[in-house]
Homo-oligomer: A and B are copies of this chain.
Amino acid sequence: MTVAETTGRRRTRRGGGSPPAKRKVDYRRLRNPFPPMPVFSDDRIEAIHEAALDVLERLGTKVLLPDARKAYKSGGATVHENTEMVHIGREMVFAALASAPRQIPVRGAVRERDIMLELGNLVFQPGAGAPHATDLERGRRPGTERDFRELVQLTQHFDVLHMVPPLIEPQDVPMHMRHYATLDAQLSLSDKVPFIFARGSPQVAQSFEMLRDFRGLSDAEFAAESHCYTIINTNSPRTLDRPMAQGLMDFAKAGQVSIVTPFTLMGAMAPITVAGAITLSHAEALAAITLTQLVRPGAPVCYGTFTSNVDMKSGAPAFGTPEHFKASLAAGQLARFIGLPWRGASGSVANLNDVQAANETQFGTWGCLLAGATVVIHAAGWLEGGLTVSYEKLITDLEVVQMVAELCAETPAEEAEIALDALEDVQPGGHFFGTAHTMDRYQTAFYQPLVAELSNFGTWQERGAIDTTSRATGIWKQILAETSGPTVDADALARLRADIRTRSEAGGAPPES
């Protein structure tokens, strides 16, 4: 096959006599075609919203950053400086929800990579945030800059992935220079919307400057539109730590996107019930959203959740479970209730890319899809509850994501497709292989698998009886070996790297915590 064909187009074997690839697909702008599924009645959703407002108002949120407490206080919150507790009145939340945008356009490097975060759209991200990387050739290891760059290349390659997330931690790069490495990788190897870690103002400010300059934008142009995003995890229960609060404020001021995702595991840092855990998650998300709107009304902020359960025997997290699915459904109802685009998450706790891994991730993804998530993160590659990103799992999960993307396209059923003529042509006992109706369409009719093998048992055995995960190794290796990546302005890249050199020599920028 050619590498260009792994994104969804027909694969032809190298040197084989197969017909040329002709199938064209466009996975870049997806609308969610799935009917939204509720888990709770509307009055229960209102009750959860009310309970969350009560949590914010009466129980309060611990906010570790003094500047954030000041912002909340200016907005009318009751703040106890000695306990760092902030009590946010419901009218503040209502004002924030009124000013938060329903549509958030985010720029890629080129217009076809722009995305629009709004309810009804569907945006996929691969697995992210993992300390480790793994693949069948090199094994499981602490993540490195090389892994990060390779995973950006793979993310870039598949049109169905629309944003670059913080794939793995490049642990071989010191923390005070890690933001240089991750931004360099994203800007030089991808033209998709990049991610910037909220690890304190110095790193964020530098990252904004480097991105602005690389894109050739003025300060005003950069601030006028969103060009990047961050992910804000609250510290459940009811704590907003310093870098997260600072990130919310810095991104809001700069007009860049915060995706707020409390990480509430039922039975651990949240109540054991779906309704309780989602109430806490909703309250924490509203607290964070409110902060962004206090800093800059209209600042782009995305609602989100990552609520699943734990194994009550070990306390270990579980993903892709029925409870995770139900929590996604509840979050989707709440997102529609407040009208904001939102992020849901798939996931798996399997320790290798096997049947459990496939089932959990696909099940978790369906939860997000039926919940109407705008952004689905960890849709491909995530293992061990997020401790590892697997190159092979990235490929095998992308098969599912691409098949989902196929379902986003209209399926025609006009006269030509109902095909009465063809039905008349083929007599009982005949077949449709050679009919004109088939011949006109056979190169384009069907989704062409990325990694699935359609051959029968005998042929598959002759070819070495290779399992899907092992086939995936060949695919990511070929993509890395053969893809050239996006067109990058060589001068801009040279300037970026010179800038990074200067900044590194000046000591980088330590993360804040």
Contact = CB atoms under 8 A, between A and B. Distances in A.
Contacts of A388: 457
A312 interface: yes
Nearest to A317: B454
Contacts of A39: 411
A276 B351 contact: no
A356 B40 contact: no
A237 B241 CA distance: 66
A360 interface: yes
Interface in A339-374: 349-360, 362-363, 366, 370
Interface stretch (A290-298, A319-327, A484-492, A500-508): A319-327
A267 B445 CA distance: 9
Nearest to A396: B355
A249 to B, nearest CB: 20
Given A316-B455, A358-B359, A453-B351, A441 B407 contact: no
A335 B500 CA distance: 63
A410 to B, nearest CB: 9
A403 B363 contact: yes
Interface in A365-411: 366, 370, 384-385, 387-388, 393, 396, 399-400, 403, 406-407, 411
A178 interface: no
B423 A59 contact: yes
A447 B366 contact: no
A238 B353 CA distance: 44
A326 B407 contact: yes
Contact of A271 (B48, B237, B330, B419): B419
A467 interface: yes
Interface stretch (A99-107, A164-172, A192-200, A425-433): A425-433
Interface stretch (A28-36, A182-190, A210-218): A28-36
Nearest to A63: B428
Contacts of A403: 321-322, 325, 363
A318 interface: yes
B275 A419 contact: yes
Given A423-B237, A428-B239, A452 B273 contact: no
A456 B352 CA distance: 11
A452 B47 contact: no
Contacts of A321: 403, 446-447, 449
A266 interface: yes
Contacts of A438: 267, 271-272
B40 A413 contact: yes
Interface in A280-327: 280, 309, 311-316, 318, 321-323, 325-326
Given A44-B413, A268-B431, A384-B457, A276 B419 contact: yes
A420 B62 contact: no
A26 interface: no
Given A235-B429, A321-B449, 8 more contacts: A239-B429, A267-B433, A273-B417, A273-B441, A311-B446, A321-B446, A355-B357, A362-B362
